[in-house]
Chain A
């Protein structure tokens, strides 16, 4: 699903975020990306979603060379990747329903199918009764789950999460991680960046460890 071949990323300021990173994540695999803040976790995820382009090396997502993807084809890539953010990035002026429906509208879906799929996604994250609520009226954990519902509503084959439990207590964090594991069980490839080592160890999944831009652990374990 994801292949990195000797990928480096240097930002315009000269900061080298990734140095020669190579790994492969198979279809239907679930892995954690860990490391200290500033180790390059976010940069690695951004390269996958084509939010940044690599300075050197190749990033392949489902066989697609993301680094060389023409601008106009980026939307097609992003529709196949669900992304969950630490700050969940929900739109405050829209209801939960409208937030979750956004990826469907963007992909050109209309009509009753939208409602069905939004409710299915909300049901999966346990928020079926909250579709008329506005994000600010929800707790942090609920907001994050709305963010997850939005990421999966389009049934993307790949799910990325950047510190999805960063602002949550351990109990809620475990719930959120269990949710990701459930999506993985139905075939979705999942890659989660987190610095919550205890949680990662409890999950017992593959770990990719970054240190100062280098992949120091987990590169060889191809699924």
Chain B
């Protein structure tokens, strides 16, 4: 049959060289991707609403992540750096305090010791507290001299033992190990991290369902087209492809929207946050998502969109058969 020879040459993929087949395959994907994008643009309002839902769902965990990263950056200065403050007895004179500082600095297990004289302590207190006038009313300096010990070790048990030894010194009235505070802070941050992970997982599931449902509706709307395509010999892959790309676009554009939301919110917060940091004489400035997290957000959104579309396609495309 004359018609068959030509058909075989043109249509049978196995008969074409690999390079041409690859090109045809790429062209099919490009067409499907562009077609899905056009379809998305054809109904801008409903597309935008779906994308907004996805964007907000992704922006929440992304925003919390940024918040947490900043909290860790702020508290990072204290990470593992426990300090032991030794408040000296009132009767210890300055010369003895200086000698003690040298003694302690020479001890094993101590990295550094800083002496804060009562005068220095008072000056700092006056500067930071704003109670200057109230202090003027006092007859004498109520603050003791303080030795701030920076331990070399960082494991809690060694620190506790060191604190106990230092507390036993006759010149020391009280020793305060602010390790507890560091531990609690780290525990709180760990809890917050876990919380963000849980929220992220829940919202990822929400995105999966939103995209899945969107694609399910799209499949229903294009039922007739799917039937006709199957009748004229479309493969499952050909029919599936535009829907998978649609899911991918939804996820990717939703993630881009989430990125804008997070960066926009950070831009709004940057001014006040910088002022707050200034008041604390801190060099810290709020950080944005950064390249790695931005990429992860976009890739995660795209992956979720694709997975959601796959769920819908796996469930609903098989049901549609020509009859």
Contact = CB atoms under 8 A, between A and B. Distances in A.
Interface of A: 27-28, 46, 49, 51-52, 72, 74-80, 83, 89, 91, 102-103, 105-110, 113, 150, 154-157, 186-188
Interface footprint category on B:
20 to 34
A49 B234 contact: no
A103 B236 contact: no
Contacts of A49: 231
B27 interface: yes
A91 B228 contact: yes
A105 B28 CA distance: 8
B3 A187 contact: yes
Given A27-B1, A89-B231, A154-B11, 11 more contacts: A46-B323, A78-B231, A79-B233, A89-B224, A91-B228, A102-B228, A105-B31, A155-B6, A157-B1, A157-B4, A188-B3
Nearest to A151: B232
B228 A109 contact: no
A108 B21 CA distance: 9
B242 to A, nearest CB: 11
B322 A186 contact: no
Contacts of A83: 231-232
Contacts of A105: 31
B234 A186 contact: no
B95 interface: no
Interface string B14-41: 0000000000100110010000000000
B229 A106 contact: yes
Contact of B11 (A46, A79, A91): A79
A44 to B, nearest CB: 14
Contacts of A156: 3, 7
B25 to A, nearest CB: 8
Contacts of B4: 155, 157
B2 interface: yes
Contacts of B6: 155
A49 B228 CA distance: 13
Given A51-B322, A91-B225, A108-B13, A78 B232 contact: yes
11 contacts: A51-B322, A51-B323, A78-B230, A79-B233, A102-B232, A106-B233, A150-B232, A154-B11, A156-B3, A187-B1, A188-B3
Nearest to A107: B11
B238 A106 contact: yes
B129 interface: no
Most buried by A among B227, B233, B238, B323: B233
B2 A187 contact: yes
Contacts of B323: 46, 51-52
Please provide the 10 A-B residue pairs with the shortest distance between their CB atoms, ordered closest to farther. A78-B233, A79-B233, A155-B3, A106-B234, A75-B233, A107-B11, A103-B232, A75-B235, A187-B1, A110-B27
B10 interface: yes
A56 B25 CA distance: 39
B228 A89 contact: yes
Contact of A113 (B10, B229, B231, B233): B10
Nearest to A93: B225
Nearest to A102: B232
B24 A154 contact: no
A108 B232 contact: no
A109 B238 CA distance: 13
A121 B254 CA distance: 43
A223 to B, nearest CB: 14
B7 A154 contact: yes
A80 B233 CA distance: 8
Given A91-B225, A107-B11, A72 B236 contact: yes
A63 B142 CA distance: 106
Given A75-B234, A150-B232, A108 B2 contact: no
Nearest to A71: B236
A146 to B, nearest CB: 12
B27 A186 contact: no
A114 B145 CA distance: 91
B1 A109 contact: no
Contacts of B27: 110
A31 to B, nearest CB: 17
B24 to A, nearest CB: 5
Interface in B220-263: 224-225, 227-236, 238
Interface string B290-320: 0000000000000000000000000000000
A83 B227 CA distance: 13
A108 B31 CA distance: 11
A186 B236 contact: no
A180 to B, nearest CB: 15
Nearest to B228: A89
